[in-house]
Amino acid sequence: MAARFPRPCRVSTEDAPLKALLLPFDAGTLAWPAQGRVLFLRARDGGPLRRYDRARLRCEQGFKPLADGLRRAGLDVVPELDEADAGAALVLVLPPRQREEARALLARAVALAAPGARVVAAAANDEGARSREKDLQQLAGLDGSLSKHHCRVFWTPPLQGPADPALAAQWRQADAVRPVLGGRFHSRPGVFAWDGIDAASALLAAHLPADLRGRGADLGAGWGYLAAEVLERAPGGTALDLYEAEHRALELARRNLAGARVAPGFHWHDVTAGLPRGGSDFIVSNPPFHAHDRGDRPELGQRFIEVAAQALRPGGRLLLVANRHLPYEGTLARAFPLARVLAEGGGFKVIEALREAAR
């Protein structure tokens, strides 16, 4: 189950929430700290950020394409900050749409701020900016806000911890890992299909061939449902590599497959950047196809197909599930000598594609 890619994967100076986040500093309403560490949660690189001293900036970004962009820009980035990073002179936040995840992120931001420091957050209007502003106000109080670029930026007064510690603890607990699906798996808010099995993955699982053998890979593995089904339904599978761009989801997959009959490999990786050639006997995938604005991004799934063709050994098989309307047939025809639809249902299609066998 692939994490749905936020947009943009390649961050530009047109990143409106990032531009909005830095408005109070651009306008002189707030001052960039002259000393002390600056933390940036859900960080993204872009032109607006480059106007400020970034030597003391430490970033948290769990989505691999964006984390890679931050590293290329020379920034210090980790998938998740911890308590050792507390005591920041300023905490910047770009909270996500998902309510529980966003509230927990704001609570963490307040906890990471040093006494007298501020938390500054921004969100697009159509991504819940008003709700996130109210959340921060309820948690720690507000000292100001601005609206521009179809976004809102809002900030706390100098802090001495959360105004409501019980609320902060409640919000962090609401984002905690918990059992789902009768306890068979564990998940948490913010990952794709976090509290259930999406229909596309269920359709693919139901039509997995039992004769899959050798080394497999799951491209866009999410929290591990499809990989678990592969290992249960295909006893000939001797190894399985999970590739997932969202660190939050991959850590759940580690937990969910801890007792699997074979020890999988877990790779925090952007599949669109490519994989080693010829390393897999079979590949399964429910590739991403949505941007953060919920618009279709068929080029993501098309790239997954291209990468799968390169990663398969001669005679290898790709098992792919996709929305019926997505234009994958042309890419499949160019990448594989043979492809066929195994099943359809609920607006989805399961496709099997075969690489040409070695001569």
Hey, do 16-174 and 178-354 end up sharing a CATH topology, with the first three levels equal? yes
User: Quick count: other Cβ atoms within 10 Å of Cβ 105?
Assistant: 24
| 178-354 carries CATH number 3.40.50.1110 | no
pTM comes to 0.92
- What is the reported pLDDT for 10? 41
Q: Give the residue from 204, 216, 221 showing the smallest Cα distance to 313.
A: 216
Q: Give the residue from 29, 25, 27, 222 showing the smallest Cα distance to 40.
A: 25
Q: Which residue type occupies 347? A: G
- What is the reported pLDDT for 234? 95
CA distances 66 to 99, 101, 106, 297, Å, are 21, 18, 20, 17
CATH code given to domain 16-174: 3.40.50.150
Cα-atom radius of gyration of the chain, to the nearest Å? 22
- What is the reported pLDDT for 11? 37
> Is 338 in contact with 353 (CB distance < 8 Å)?
yes
What is the Cα–Cα distance from 240 to 266, expressed in whole angstroms?
9
Per-residue exposure over 1-36, b if at least 16 CB sit within 10 Å of its own CB, e if not: bbbbbbebbebeeebbbbbbbbbbbeeeebeebeee
Q: What is the DSSP letter of 246?
A: B
DSSP-assigned letters across all residues of 247-302? HHHHHHHHHHTTT-SS--EEEE--GGG---TT-EEEEEE----B-TTS-B-HHHHH
Per-residue exposure over 298-328, b if at least 16 CB sit within 10 Å of its own CB, e if not: bebbbbbbbbbbebbbeebbbbbbbbeebeb
CA distances 312 to 225, 296, 308, 341, Å, are 22, 27, 6, 19
What is the Cα–Cα distance from 158 to 141, expressed in whole angstroms?
10
What is the Cα–Cα distance from 353 to 289, expressed in whole angstroms?
19
Per-residue model confidence as pLDDT tens digits over 15-49: 999 999 999 999 999 999 999 999 999 999 998 89
CA distances 265 to 80, 214, 219, 242, 275, Å, are 20, 14, 12, 6, 14
User: Quick count: other Cβ atoms within 10 Å of Cβ 113?
Assistant: 25
Domain ranges in the chain are 16-174, 178-354
Per-residue model confidence as pLDDT tens digits over 251-270: 999 999 998 999 999 999 99
Residues 6+ apart with CB under 8 A from 198: 1, 192, 286
Q: Give the residue from 184, 157, 265 showing the smallest Cα distance to 221.
A: 265
- What is the reported pLDDT for 6? 38
Q: Which residues of the chain have pLDDT under 50?
A: 2-13, 292-293
- What is the reported pLDDT for 290? 63
- What is the reported pLDDT for 7? 37
CA distances 80 to 42, 55, 84, 128, 237, Å, are 9, 19, 11, 23, 33
Residue 128 φ/ψ, nearest 5 degrees = 90, 30
- Preceding omega of 8 cis (within 30 degrees of 0): yes
What is the Cα–Cα distance from 317 to 308, expressed in whole angstroms?
9
- What is the reported pLDDT for 294? 53
- Three-class DSSP category at 32: coil
Residues 6+ apart with CB under 8 A from 185: 179, 223, 224, 225, 228, 252, 256
User: Quick count: other Cβ atoms within 10 Å of Cβ 162?
Assistant: 21
- Three-class DSSP category at 338: strand
